[in-house]
Amino acid sequence: MDNSTQKKLLLTFRWIILLGFSLFVNAQSPGGVSTNLKLWLDSTTGIITSSGTSISQWTDRSTLLNNATQVTTANQPIIASNVFNFNPAVQMDGLNHIMNLTGAGFPTGNTARSFFMAASENGKGSDSFLFSYGVNTTGSIWAIGQVPSNSTGLYASGNGVDAVSASGFWPSPINNNLPKLGVVTYNGTAASFYDAGSSIGTSTINGKPRVQMAT
Residue 48 lies in a domain: yes
Mean pLDDT computed over 155-159: 79
Residue 40 near residue 53, CB atoms below 8 Å: no
pTM of the shown model: 0.84
- Residue 36 is assigned to a structural domain of this protein: yes
pLDDT of residue 186: 87
Count: domains in the chain? 1
In order of 18, 63, 64, 108, the CA distances from 38 in angstroms are: 5, 8, 6, 12
- What would the mean pLDDT of 5-33 be, rounded to a whole number? 55
Domain containing residue 187: 4-204
Q: What percent of the chain has pLDDT over 90?
A: 20
The pLDDT tens digits for 50-102 are 888 999 999 999 989 999 999 999 999 999 888 877 888 898 887 888 898 88
Maximum average pLDDT range among 91-95, 142-146, 166-170, 210-214 = 166-170
The CA distances from residue 85 to 138, 177, 196, in Å, are 39, 10, 16
* Spatial contact of 68 and 98, defined as CB atoms under 8 Å apart: no
In a domain, 94, yes or no: yes
Least confident of 8-17, 167-176, 192-201: 8-17
CA separation, residue 193 to residues 153, 169, 197 (Å) = 10, 10, 9
**What pLDDT is attached to residue 6?**
44
- In this prediction, residue 141 carries a pLDDT of 79
- Would 214 be classed as within a structural domain? no
Q: Is 55 inside a domain boundary?
A: yes
Q: Could you tell me if residue 122 is inside a domain?
A: yes
Q: Is residue 102 part of a domain?
A: yes
Query: Using an 8 Å Cβ cutoff, are 97 and 7 in contact?
Result: yes
pLDDT at 7 over 50: no
pLDDT at 213 exceeding the cut of 50: no
**182 lies in a domain?**
yes
